[in-house]
């Protein structure tokens, strides 16, 4: 039987791991705890920017919940964000203006797709990888693309990560939105058989996929994926939808057999 199942899940918010609904309520501003990427044993990640290390750490924890990744010969990475590399761009420019010269090591991470590329390299992903930058719908848009890739055989396993690392100095969030660091990751596999007891997941657009994704979101962009992570850990079904800035609606469902 065709379908996509969740093999692993993890969410990290304001310096702590998210396991239950209460962990998503009223998060305090981040403690600036350093993301730990040691489980991936990648020297490149040790030198990466903060956003990339957050993405890698959360993906690694989600992968640790799943079966041996060697069972999935073709893996893909999808990264979703609203602010993307804004935190790194701010730090890069601040150093350049203060010292008169940039830090070459920081420059690669000013690209919005740096986190996806570094994670793909760390887990030796051989399938397609993609970064999506958008509004509150961006995480579910990445989830929908991952389900499509798995359904069409473009990959055997997809790691979907949504993350935000707000800049420390530059105001870029709507009034009242706390600058909370957060990341959520789902590891998805193609359903092997009717005997597969893992939770089925699906995401699809109820109206046309918008060509332009925009809108201030920060924490709100990660929340839809984080709620799916919590539902997976709690072993409960979940259904939800998000309306994009262009009016298009995307929905996702998580169903346990």
Kindly report, residue by residue over 76-85, the tens digit of the pLDDT.
999 999 887 7
Backbone Cα Rg of the chain: 17
The structural domain count of the chain equals 1
What is the distance between the alpha carbons of residues 76 and 120, in angstroms, rounded to a whole number?
A: 7
Buried/exposed 22-41: b ≥16 CB within 10 Å, e otherwise: ebbeebeebeeeebebeebe
What is the distance between the alpha carbons of residues 228 and 224, in angstroms, rounded to a whole number?
A: 7
For 228, phi then psi, to 5°, come to -65, -40
Structure tokens at 82: 């609203």
- Position 60 scores a pLDDT of 93
- Position 170 scores a pLDDT of 57
Buried/exposed 214-252: b ≥16 CB within 10 Å, e otherwise: ebbbbbbbbbbbbbbbbbbbeeeebebebebbbebebbb
- Position 171 scores a pLDDT of 58
- Position 208 scores a pLDDT of 47
Residue 215 pLDDT more than 70?
Answer: no
Q: How is residue 29 annotated by DSSP?
A: P
- Position 47 scores a pLDDT of 80
Residue 218 pLDDT more than 60?
Answer: no
Structure tokens at 124: 């030796």
pLDDT digits (tens, 9 = 90+) for 2-53: 689 999 999 998 888 888 887 777 655 555 677 777 778 778 888 888 888 8
CB 253 within 8 A of CB 239: yes
| pLDDT grade for 89, boundaries at 50, 70 and 90 | low
CB 187 within 8 A of CB 63: yes
Here the CATH number for the domain that contains residue 102 is: 3.40.47.10
Question: How distant, in Å, are the alpha carbons of 39, 53, 109 from that of 42?
Answer: 8, 11, 16
Q: % helix / strand / coil in the chain, to the nearest 5?
A: 35, 25, 45
Spatial CB neighbours of 148, under 8 Å, sequence gap ≥ 6:
154
What is the distance between the alpha carbons of residues 64 and 47, in angstroms, rounded to a whole number?
A: 22
What average pLDDT does this structure show over 58-83? 82
Domain that holds residue 180: 4-255
pLDDT digits (tens, 9 = 90+) for 118-155: 999 999 999 999 999 888 888 999 999 999 999 999 99
What proportion of the chain, given as a percentage, has pLDDT over 90? Answer: 29
């Amino acid at each position: 039987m065709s379908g996509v199942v969740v093999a692993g899940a993890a969410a990290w918010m304001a310096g702590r791991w998210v396991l239950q609904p209460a962990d998503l309520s009223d998060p305090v501003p981040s403690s600036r705890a350093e993301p730990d990427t040691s489980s991936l044993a990648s020297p490149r990640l040790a030198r990466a920017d903060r956003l990339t290390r957050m993405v890698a750490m959360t993906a690694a924890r989600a992968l640790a919940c799943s079966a041996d990744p060697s069972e999935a010969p073709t893996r893909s990475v999808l990264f979703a964000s609203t602010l993307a590399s804004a935190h790194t761009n701010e730090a890069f420019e601040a150093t350049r203006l203060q010292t008169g010269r940039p830090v070459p090591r920081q420059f690669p991470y000013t690209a919005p797709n740096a986190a996806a590329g570094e994670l793909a390299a760390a887990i030796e992903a051989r399938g397609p990888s993609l970064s999506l930058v958008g509004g509150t719908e961006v995480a579910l848009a990445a989830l929908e693309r991952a389900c499509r890739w798995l359904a069409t055989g473009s990959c055997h396993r997809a790691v979907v990560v949504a993350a935000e690392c707000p800049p420390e100095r530059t105001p870029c969030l709507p009034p009242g939105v706390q600058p909370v660091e957060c990341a959520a990751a789902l590891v998805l596999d193609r359903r092997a058989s009717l005997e597969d007891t893992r939770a089925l997941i699906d995401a699809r657009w109820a109206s046309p996929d918008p060509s332009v994704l925009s809108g201030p979101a920060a924490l709100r962009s990660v929340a839809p994926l984080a709620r799916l992570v919590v539902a997976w850990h709690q072993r409960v079904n979940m259904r939800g939808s998000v309306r994009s800035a262009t009016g298009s609606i995307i929905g996702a469902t998580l169903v346990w057999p």
